[in-house]
């Protein structure tokens, strides 16, 4: 079976790795085998995931997608296959999750500098550099600025289409204003990289690189009195304006996110003149709400029904709405940045729709 074959390959590679680390003891073999098991059970080792099978009907992963969706594509991107570093030269293999060899080549170990879709370049990324390549998203606030330029804020422009930041955009959120993953409203300041405590301040300090899981027990040494990471909170402002600050910072972000959705729906119906609805699992996410009931059946959440009455104001808010939706760990990665993006999107929509901003605090 494919799994067993992969496991054998991994174990051969393991012995090589163990050899190069200089510890060939049986105990190490055991811990390495456990590492392989952990990886196979992780999303990076999931052969059945949409992320690694999406292109099976085409037989290859295209150049634009290979760097993050195929181990050979990532090797190509790093230049570990002898090709130019920083770009993918050829289509890559399907059914190739992110295996040991993706992150354990000389090129991957040496990688320290990563550029983002905005053009921003970060250095000193250490062992988190590999994570940063794939978890940075594919768009930036600048793409939104460019798309809407020259169009009146509330003018419906049939040329406009939804811009999707992509998925698992943790690195874009963590680095905040430094990499401009969100749409930044003019004359507003945005939080740069979230500086957490030194022991939990990088991707690999929190996430085990092989399971991708976070050992959340370690969090409660400092964050006392809670048993769930989502209940963590160190600041006590009412950021979503609901009068309730008893939940974690996660609850403030999800509360504000829900308010932004209501505002997007109100604006679309009243100002753009076409009701809108969001379908979480269906590209391109925003659809025409034909019967105006606020829901859409999955068979209707298809390309021909995609929302097509975008105004610049609506597109900016929808872009930020999706940035927040596509980093479910954003409340840990950079809570201030997400609250600012949501606050400013809501405030901008309030220029044309009836939204009471008075109780909502901007951090
Ligand atoms: C910069 C890295 C990167 C590139 C380039 C990239 N993706 Fe992704 N993509 C990701 C990551 C990371 C995820 C998984 C996020 C998660 O599950 O947390 C993902 C997930 C997906 C998914 C699954 C979405 C879902 O809802 O489960 C699809 C489909 C997808 N990408 C399509 C594409 C296509 C098509 C391309 C090329 C046009 C592409 N990707 C290029 C990083 C990338
Ligand atoms: C997504 C990237 C990634 C993948 C895939 C990956 N590793 Fe790692 N691995 C790392 C990183 C990053 C470190 C270093 C952790 C640190 O320095 O904090 C590491 C460390 C190690 C170490 C050193 C011991 C340790 O626990 O720190 C070994 C051995 C290892 N990996 C083996 C493997 C094997 C075998 C596989 C495949 C089953 C694998 N890795 C897959 C990123 C990866
Ligand atoms: C070559 C690209 C690539 C690299 C390198 C990479 N990832 Fe991923 N990561 C992905 C993709 C693609 C997925 C989605 C896999 C799936 O859907 O099964 C993913 C999934 C995840 C998930 C789970 C998301 C979910 O939806 O449950 C976490 C957490 C994660 N990665 C963290 C990391 C960390 C930490 C590192 C660095 C040690 C890293 N990734 C390196 C591409 C990558
Ligand atoms: C302070 C610790 C911490 C740091 C630093 C951190 N993460 Fe996370 N991350 C978490 C926690 C905790 C979650 C889970 C949140 C939840 O499920 O409520 C998470 C969630 C994620 C997810 C989404 C998993 C899912 O269920 O969809 C991805 C992907 C991810 N992190 C990748 C990264 C990457 C890449 C980096 C570095 C740029 C990073 N994280 C930095 C703690 C951290
Ligand atoms: C050594 C102590 C320490 C550890 C360990 C620690 N944190 Fe923190 N955490 C802090 C401090 C201090 C802050 C306040 C940082 C700031 O806002 O500048 C904070 C802030 C946060 C916030 C933002 C809260 C808010 O209201 O904005 C979240 C979320 C968080 N930590 C999650 C985690 C998670 C998840 C872990 C475990 C992976 C963790 N922390 C581990 C000390 C710690």
pLDDT digit string, tens, across residues 58-116: 999 999 999 999 999 999 999 999 999 999 999 999 999 999 999 999 999 999 999 99
pLDDT score for 39: 95
Please name the residues in contact with 200: beta carbons below 8 A apart, sequence gap of 6 or more: 206, 218, 219
Q: What is the pLDDT of residue 12?
A: 46
CA 25 to mean position of chain CA atoms = 39
Q: Which pLDDT band holds residue 2 (cuts at 50, 70, 90)?
A: very low
Q: Is 342's C-beta closer than 6 angstroms to any atom of ligand 4? A: no
Residue listed under structure tokens 């494919």: 2
**Ligand 4, atom 29, residue with closest C-alpha:** 168
The torsion region of residue 229 among left (phi > 0), alpha (psi -120 to 50) and beta comes to alpha
**Substitution candidate for ligand 1 out of 44, 48, 68, 114 with most atoms within 8 A of CB:** 68
Residues 191, 69: Cα–Cα separation, whole Å: 30
Instruction: Kindly tell me the sign of the dihedral angle through the C-alpha atoms of 345, 351, 355, 356.
Output: positive
CA of 206 to the centre of ligand 4 (A): 8
The predicted-structure confidence for 197-216, as pLDDT tens digits, reads as follows 999 999 999 999 999 999 99
- Whether residue 207 has its Cβ less than 6 Å from ligand 1: no
Q: Which residues line ligand 3 (CB under 6 A)?
A: 43-44, 46, 49, 51, 68-69, 74, 98, 102-103, 130-131, 133-135, 168, 203-204, 207, 209, 212
Average pLDDT across the chain, whole number: 93
Average pLDDT over residues 232-255: 97
Q: Quick one: tokens of 291?
A: 């019967």
d(CA 3, CA 109): 26
- Please give the C-alpha separations between residue 80 and each of 113, 217, 235, in angstroms, as whole numbers: 15, 37, 44
- As a whole number of angstroms, the distance between CA 174 and CA 184 comes to 15
Assess whether the C-beta atom of 326 lies below 6 angstroms from ligand 1.
no
pLDDT of residue 19: 47
Q: What does the pLDDT read at residue 17? A: 53
pLDDT for residue 147 is more than 50: yes
5-43 per-position pLDDT tens digit: 455 455 445 544 544 454 446 678 888 899 999 999 999
Per residue in 247-289, pLDDT tens? 999 999 999 999 999 999 999 999 999 999 999 999 999 999 9
């Amino acid at each position: 079976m494919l799994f067993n074959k992969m496991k054998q390959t991994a174990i051969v590679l393991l012995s090589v790795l163990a050899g190069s680390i200089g510890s060939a003891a049986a105990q190490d073999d055991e811990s390495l085998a456990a590492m392989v098991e952990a990886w196979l059970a992780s999303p990076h080792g999931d052969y059945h995931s949409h992320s690694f099978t999406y292109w099976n009907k085409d037989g290859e992963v295209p150049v634009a997608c290979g760097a993050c969706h195929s181990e050979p594509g990532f090797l190509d991107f790093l230049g570990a296959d002898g090709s130019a570093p920083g770009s993918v030269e050829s289509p890559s293999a399907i059914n190739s999750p992110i295996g040991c060899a993706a992150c354990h080549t000389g090129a991957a170990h040496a990688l320290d500098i990563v550029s983002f879709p905005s053009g921003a370049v970060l250095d000193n990324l250490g062992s988190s550099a590999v994570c940063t390549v794939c978890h940075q998203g594919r768009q930036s606030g600048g793409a939104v600025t460019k798309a809407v330029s020259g169009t009146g804020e509330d003018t419906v422009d049939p040329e406009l289409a939804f811009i999707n930041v992509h998925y698992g955009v943790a690195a874009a959120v963590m680095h905040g204003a430094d990499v401009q993953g969100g749409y930044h409203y003019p004359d507003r300041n945005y939080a740069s990289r979230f500086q957490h405590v030194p022991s939990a301040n990088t991707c690999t300090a929190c996430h085990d690189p092989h399971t991708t899981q976070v050992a959340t027990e370690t969090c409660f040494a400092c964050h006392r009195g809670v048993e769930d990471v989502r209940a963590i909170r160190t600041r006590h402002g009412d950021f979503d304006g609901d009068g309730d600050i008893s939940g974690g910072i996660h609850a403030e972000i999800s509360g504000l996110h829900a308010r932004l959705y209501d505002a997007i729906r109100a604006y679309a119906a009243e100002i753009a003149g076409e009701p809108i609805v969001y379908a979480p699992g269906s590209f391109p996410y925003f659809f025409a709400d034909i019967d105006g009931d606020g829901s859409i059946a999955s068979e209707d959440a298809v390309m021909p029904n995609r929302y097509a009455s975008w105004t610049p104001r609506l597109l900016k808010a929808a872009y930020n709405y999706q940035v927040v939706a596509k980093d479910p760990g954003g409340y840990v990665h950079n809570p201030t940045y997400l609250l600012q993006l949501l606050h400013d999107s809501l405030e901008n929509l309030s220029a044309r729709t009836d939204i009471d901003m008075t109780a909502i605090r901007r951090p």
